[in-house]
């Protein structure tokens, strides 16, 4: 039976474990956290258990999710390094699954190896986003060469309950972080702005917010389900001298597309900085 250990019990780690619980059963999932109460709450949410320490989690999990902030990942890796070393090369090596922005597979492996250990443990980097909390996320992942196709497939199956899962080369992951990792925040800002515009036009606040959210949801579904380019879908609703083209002109006057591109670029650049110095 497969076991998952989740080091860290924040919103994202717990959301992914809830999805996995539907595949392997909550009793096969365990948590650790510096805040014992948080670990107990997360374990209760999935019907799982709480490990006494990170080292115990590293010894028990077939997949060990590193669901901690980038700034503290190094300390966690140093704590579990000896346990991971014992398991690497065994018939059942632990697969580490990291969601820490800026931490490359090579940096994770080299931190675990230290100066006297030559073997590389299997590592998978993932970049989920917050809609995974409701099963509508995007989870991009990149496995190290030590991860078997079977293990990668098991991870895909476990994560599928949280949303769309896609394999991607690691050198694209910082771009994924800026686009889909940070992207929901940009969309929330857009939805809020749409709702404010509705209120400005006289709509009640509650309806304006519902209409704005549904408009974004429906438009996104149109892109996915029709396979049409967004520009083509835009043209379908843009009549000559109509209301839509007037609004689009206002967006273009405000450098809407360029501003969105700059926002993603800024998020990617910040991730690049974290990769150079996760403590910064």
Give pLDDT tens digits for 28-46: 999 999 999 999 999 999 9
Is there a single domain that holds both residue 149 and residue 194?
Answer: no
Does residue 274 carry a pLDDT above 90?
A: no
Is there a single domain that holds both residue 35 and residue 158?
Answer: yes
Is there a single domain that holds both residue 139 and residue 210?
Answer: no
Query: Is residue 115 assigned to a domain?
Result: yes
Tokens of 24: 């392997």
Is there a single domain that holds both residue 21 and residue 130?
Answer: yes
Domain boundary, last residue among 173, 204, 229: 173
Neighbours of 157 (CB within 10 A): 13
Is there a single domain that holds both residue 225 and residue 259?
Answer: yes
Q: Residue 31 belongs to what domain range? A: 4-173
Query: Is residue 9 assigned to a domain?
Result: yes
Query: Is residue 114 assigned to a domain?
Result: yes
Query: Is residue 178 assigned to a domain?
Result: no
Q: Which run of H or E residues covers position 52?
A: none
Mean of pLDDT over the chain? 93
pLDDT at site 278? 59
Is there a single domain that holds both residue 166 and residue 190?
Answer: no
CATH number at residue 264: 1.10.3730.10
CATH number at residue 62: 3.40.50.720
Is there a single domain that holds both residue 130 and residue 215?
Answer: no
Is there a single domain that holds both residue 28 and residue 118?
Answer: yes
Mean pLDDT confidence for 88-108 = 90
Tokens of 280: 């910064």
Count of domains forming the chain: 2
> What gap in Å lies between CA 54 and CA 69, rounded to an integer?
15
> What gap in Å lies between CA 261 and CA 220, rounded to an integer?
18
Tokens of 25: 């059963």
Is there a single domain that holds both residue 22 and residue 149?
Answer: yes
Is there a single domain that holds both residue 86 and residue 218?
Answer: no
Cα dist from 200 to 204, 211, 246, whole Å: 9, 14, 17
**How do residues 99-124 score in pLDDT, each as one tens digit?**
998 899 999 999 988 755 668 899 99
Is there a single domain that holds both residue 193 and residue 139?
Answer: no
pLDDT at site 2? 87
Q: What share of the chain is helix, strand, coil (3-state, %, to 5)?
A: 60, 10, 25
pLDDT at site 1? 77
Query: Is residue 113 assigned to a domain?
Result: yes
Is there a single domain that holds both residue 95 and residue 127?
Answer: yes
The answer to whether 162 and 16 have CB atoms below 8 angstroms apart is yes
Domain boundary, last residue among 173, 196, 225: 173
The answer to whether 38 and 98 have CB atoms below 8 angstroms apart is no
């Amino acid at each position: 039976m497969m076991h998952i250990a989740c080091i860290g019990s924040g919103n994202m780690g717990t959301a992914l474990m809830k999805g996995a619980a539907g595949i392997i059963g909550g009793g096969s999932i365990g948590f650790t956290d510096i805040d014992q109460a948080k670990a107990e709450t997360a374990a209760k949410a999935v019907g799982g258990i709480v490990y006494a320490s990170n080292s115990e989690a590293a010894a028990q999990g077939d997949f060990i999710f590193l669901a901690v902030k980038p700034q503290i990942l190094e300390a966690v890796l140093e704590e579990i390094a000896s346990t991971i070393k014992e398991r690497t090369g065994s018939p059942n090596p632990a697969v580490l699954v990291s969601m820490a922005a800026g931490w490359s597979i090579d940096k994770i492996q080299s931190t675990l190896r230290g100066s006297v250990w030559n073997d590389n443990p299997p590592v998978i980097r993932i970049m989920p986003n917050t809609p995974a909390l409701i099963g509508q996320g995007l989870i991009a992942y990149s496995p190290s060469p030590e991860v078997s196709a079977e293990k990668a497939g098991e991870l895909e199956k476990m994560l599928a309950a949280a949303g769309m899962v896609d394999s991607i080369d690691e050198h694209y992951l910082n771009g994924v972080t800026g686009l889909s990792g940070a992207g929901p925040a940009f969309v929330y800002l857009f939805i809020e702005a749409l709702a404010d515009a509705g209120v400005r036009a006289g709509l009640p606040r509650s309806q304006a917010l519902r209409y704005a959210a549904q408009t974004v949801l429906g438009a996104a579904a149109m892109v996915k389900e029709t396979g049409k380019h967004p520009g083509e879908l835009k043209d379908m609703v843009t009549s000559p001298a109509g209301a839509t083209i007037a609004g689009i002109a206002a967006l273009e006057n405000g450098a809407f597309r360029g501003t969105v591109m700059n926002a993603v670029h800024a998020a990617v650049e910040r991730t690049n900085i974290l990769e150079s110095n996760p403590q910064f």
